[in-house]
Amino acid sequence: MSNEWEVVIGLEIHAQLATKSKIFSGASTAYGAEPNTQTSVVDIALPGVLPVLNKEAVHMAVKFGMAIGAEVSDRSVFDRKNYFYPDLPKGYQISQFELPVVGEGSIDIKLENGDTKTIGVTRAHLEEDAGKSLHEDYAGMTGIDLNRAGTPLLEIVSEPDMRSAKEAVAYMKKIHTLVQYIGICDGNMQEGSFRCDANVSVRPKGQEAFGTRAELKNINSFRFVERAINIEVERQIDLIEDGGEVVQETRLYDSDKNETRSMRSKEEAMDYRYFPDPDLLPVILTEEYRQQVKAELPELPEQKQQRFMDELGLSDYDASVITASLGLASYFEIVAEKTGDAKLSANWITGELSARLNREEIEIDKAAVDAEAFALLLTRIKDNTISGKIAKDVLDAMWNGEGSADEVIESKGLKQITDTGAIEAYVDEVITNNPSQFEELKGGKDKMMGFFVGQVMKMSKGKANPAQVNELIRNKMK
Amino acid sequence: MSIEVDEVKKIAKLAALNVDDADLQSYATNLSNILDLVAQMDAVDTTGVTPMSHPFDAVQRLREDKVTEVDRREAFQKIAPNTEDGLYLVPKVIE
């Protein structure tokens, strides 16, 4: 990327709120139902129906506001955003324009160099989701499924404070973690519960005025956010350097081709003509209510991280990795409690467990070994039943469904040899087979110790206790 | 403030309204008159007045988050012009 250009990014994140029913009707929001089986007269916009606001949707929006230290308004208003599209049966989307529930706040992100950067949150407002359009297979027609229509969304709008795709991803991850911690969104990106639009522009370094921005729509994975932004930045710079001009428009990221392409030019059609929705009255939130919601907030990611460091002695790095996901943090807490060894638990969770999750590209809730079973494995390291090395093999077997740690250790005969006589026999054999190396060891060549321990471990198929082997060899040197 | 015929066309398009060319000028005049009225009201000092978002002096009642609706797809789709596999079919909206 050219050094003369500065990238400016703002994100609009749509978090689907985890309510049971829709924002303005009593229809279910459950994912994956048969098309159009979760719609009410309100969702399909029959004439003469009235939307009634879901209390929990408001509660969740307020929770978010309090969690980011934002102004939560005492009076907020719903507006109609007008446009025509078949998956929006009313001809308008109920959203919030001038008076959103949540006003200005901020989020701190950690940069790659370890510095902290504060990203401004402009606002967060409640709105309803649209239905789904299916463009294939219907004899030249478009199929419409309105199950999603009316699902509550919290749209979280950032300031144009991010200066690279990496910063944008860090911010998005931070929000993703937060909404799950406070229980307002399941964060499931595959199901579209958490998605984002990115406003991207470039300007010459040092210039104050923003360049013209393009809006990248509906990006539903962290990897794609980074790639989409980078490819769009490249496109804009090339365009300008070739004497062209960026037009303000909506663009779609095509992950197969790794390119963005124009969806529709914003200049003409997109005048949404917002006005207050006469079907809904202003929402009034008292200071008492706001304080009550604040008091009910669970431990937030940063607080948890600090506690893990202060009370459990984790490193900054381990604590931040573990608390980046509520699922992982809960898993860790169970393992740490059961084993009574937070550091060992953290090492194994950030190491072996995370490696397996990454390899299979799954989240902790899909892990093949649950926290209790994992804790038992670590307990077997602690009580010297197995070595750490053997424990990795045991974990593999557990991961493949071969039973609990104890069952695997038993069936595979992996129990550490604690019988000194047996280990001593191995030690003697290794010394007999390697007399010159043993002389070197005795002569003060300490590096040889590794060789001898290694040989004995090999003979015992990893089942000897390395500390014990070490001690026995030292005894032989006397 | 005055609205031109071109703007009437644009607004009509956004609202998906079919306005006869012959009526464009009268719409332009009438809409301009409404805006003039609004401009007159602008002269009133509204310092300290909360903008009215609804004519009723009331606040929004909230609903408990409960699923109260049952599946009524069959009834709803009886009045739809075209359905298939439970979907409403509409003229294709993308190329």
Half-sphere exposure (Cβ direction) of A117: Cα atoms closer than 13 Å? 17
Report yes or no on A4 lying in a domain: no
Length of chain A, please? 478
The domain boundary residue, chosen from A360, A383, A412: A412
The per-residue pLDDT for A264 is 66
pLDDT tens track for B50-76? 888 888 889 999 999 999 999 999 999
- Whole-Å CA distances, A46 to A43, A84, A90, A184, A221: 8, 16, 8, 30, 35
Domain that holds residue A92: 12-290
How far does the CA of residue B23 sit from the closest CA of chain A (Å)? 23
Q: Is A346 helix (H, G, I), strand (E, B) or coil?
A: helix
Asked if A189 and A314 sit in the same domain, the reply is: no
Report yes or no on A7 lying in a domain: no
* pLDDT band, very low/low/confident/very high, at A21 (cuts 50, 70, 90): very high
The per-residue pLDDT for A470 is 87
Residues in chain B where the model's pLDDT stays below 50: none
Asked if A313 and A278 sit in the same domain, the reply is: no
Report yes or no on A242 lying in a domain: yes
Mean pLDDT of A229-241: 95
Report yes or no on A241 lying in a domain: yes
Whole-angstrom distance, CA of residue A309 vs CA of residue A302: 11
User: Any idea what the CATH number is for the domain that residue A427 is in?
Assistant: 1.10.10.410
The DSSP string of A373-387 is HHHHHHHHHHTTSS-
Asked if A261 and A392 sit in the same domain, the reply is: no
The residue that leads in pLDDT, A25 or A476, is A25
- Whole-Å CA distances, A58 to A79, A80, A99, A438, B65: 15, 18, 14, 75, 10
Asked if A49 and A165 sit in the same domain, the reply is: yes
pLDDT tens track for A261-294? 888 654 455 689 999 999 999 999 999 999 999 9
The residue that leads in pLDDT, A336 or A266, is A336
**Tokens, residue A212:** 């013209």
The domain boundary residue, chosen from A390, A412, A434: A412
Report yes or no on A56 lying in a domain: yes
Whole-angstrom distance, CA of residue A105 vs CA of residue B93: 38
* DSSP 8-state class, residue A132: E
Report yes or no on A81 lying in a domain: yes
Report yes or no on A63 lying in a domain: yes
The per-residue pLDDT for A268 is 57
* DSSP 8-state class, residue A131: -
Whether residue A26 and residue B67 make contact (CB cut-off 8 A), yes or no, is: yes
The per-residue pLDDT for A405 is 93
pLDDT tens track for A401-433? 999 999 999 888 888 777 778 888 888 999 999
Asked if A385 and A368 sit in the same domain, the reply is: yes
Asked if A328 and A354 sit in the same domain, the reply is: yes
Q: Is residue A161 scored above 90 in pLDDT?
A: yes
Asked if A16 and A124 sit in the same domain, the reply is: yes
**C-alpha gyration radius of chain A:** 29
**Residue A72 pairs with which residues in a beta bridge?**
A102
How far does the CA of residue A92 sit from the closest CA of chain B (Å)? 11
* pLDDT band, very low/low/confident/very high, at A3 (cuts 50, 70, 90): low
Asked if A21 and A73 sit in the same domain, the reply is: yes
Q: Is A236 helix (H, G, I), strand (E, B) or coil?
A: helix
The per-residue pLDDT for B93 is 77
Q: How, if at all, do strands B83-84 and B87-91 pair?
A: antiparallel
Q: What is the ipTM of this complex?
A: 0.92
Report yes or no on A146 lying in a domain: yes
Whether residue A142 and residue B54 make contact (CB cut-off 8 A), yes or no, is: no
Whether residue A135 and residue B77 make contact (CB cut-off 8 A), yes or no, is: no
Span between the terminal Cα atoms of chain B, in Å: 40
pLDDT tens track for A33-66? 999 999 999 999 999 999 999 999 999 999 999 9
The residue that leads in pLDDT, A458 or A27, is A27
Whether residue B54 and residue A281 make contact (CB cut-off 8 A), yes or no, is: yes
Asked if A67 and A163 sit in the same domain, the reply is: yes
How far does the CA of residue B45 sit from the closest CA of chain A (Å)? 21
Asked if A388 and A424 sit in the same domain, the reply is: no
Whole-angstrom distance, CA of residue A185 vs CA of residue A328: 17
* pLDDT band, very low/low/confident/very high, at A1 (cuts 50, 70, 90): very low
When divided into structural domains, chain A yields a total of: 3
Interface of A with B in 268-297 (CB under 8 A): 269, 271, 273, 276, 278, 280-284
Whole-angstrom distance, CA of residue A341 vs CA of residue A335: 8
Asked if A402 and A428 sit in the same domain, the reply is: no
Asked if A318 and A456 sit in the same domain, the reply is: no
